[in-house]
Amino acid sequence: MHPTKNDLPQKTRAKVIAVLSDRLADATDLMLQGKQAHWNVKGPNFIALHELFDKVVESAEEWVDLTAERIVQLGGQAEGTVQATAARTTLAPYPLSIVSGADHVEALSSSLAAYGKKVRSAIEKTDKLGDKDSSDIFTEISRDVDKYLWFVEAHNQRAE
């Protein structure tokens, strides 16, 4: 770890950095999955989904940045390469051959839901470790993930 005058104990910082690093890989993977959907979606709702998927990507970029910067603030080394992401992500691989809007909605909403679950777990873990700031960052991300999950899922839900 890099030296810092941050007053959290080094042992705490190391444990929090591990949690943050795992979620950084997931957020980076999710961002790239959103781009995959954005580039390849086809069908009658093309423009709406194309634009929505890009908004998911923009938000995921913010989640990546918040997470990576917190890692560095705590004295860690943010690992944001494709290789590090591929080795560490917990998200299921995104299907590369799908094109229909409904299939992309299903795949991306599944990834958003999985990431949201991991982020909510990270809220608890970092809080129990005594890092309220990281917990707060994960809370902010969680609210945003839930919003985009709602937006994406709404495309495959029926009005009753």
pLDDT above 90 for 157: no
pTM of structure: 0.95
| Total of domains in the chain | 1
Strand partners, 85: none
- For the chain, the average pLDDT equals 96
CATH number of the CATH domain containing 111: 1.20.1260.10
> Which pairs count as long-range contacts for 57-63, CB under 8 Å and 24+ apart, including other chains?
57/31, 59/144, 59/148, 60/27, 60/28, 60/30, 60/31, 60/34, 61/31, 62/144, 63/27, 63/30, 63/31, 63/141, 63/144, 63/145
pLDDT above 80 for 158: no
- Could you tell me if residue 3 is inside a domain? no
By the 8 A CB rule, do 83 and 28 touch? no
- Could you tell me if residue 1 is inside a domain? no
Q: Which residue has the higher pLDDT, 81 or 1?
A: 81
Q: pLDDT of 66-114, one tens digit each?
A: 999 999 999 999 999 999 999 999 999 999 999 999 999 999 999 999 9
- Could you tell me if residue 94 is inside a domain? yes
Q: pLDDT of 93-102, one tens digit each?
A: 999 999 999 9
In the chain, where does DSSP find H-type helix? 10-40, 46-73, 82-88, 101-128, 132-153
- Could you tell me if residue 17 is inside a domain? yes
- Could you tell me if residue 2 is inside a domain? no
Q: pLDDT of 15-30, one tens digit each?
A: 999 999 999 999 999 9
- Could you tell me if residue 34 is inside a domain? yes
What is residue 68's predicted lDDT score, i.e. its pLDDT? 98
pLDDT above 70 for 160: no
Give the amino acid at 141: I
What is residue 98's predicted lDDT score, i.e. its pLDDT? 96
Angle of helix 46-73 versus helix 132-153 axis, rounded to 10: 170
- Could you tell me if residue 42 is inside a domain? yes
Alpha-carbon span 30 to 78, nearest angstrom: 17
- Could you tell me if residue 126 is inside a domain? yes
Task: Collapse the DSSP code of 72 into the 3-class scheme (helix H, G, I; strand E, B; otherwise coil) and give the result.
Answer: helix
Distance of CA 47 to the CA centre of its chain: 23
Q: What is the domain range of residue 113? A: 10-156
Strand partners, 103: none
Alpha-carbon span 68 to 120, nearest angstrom: 18
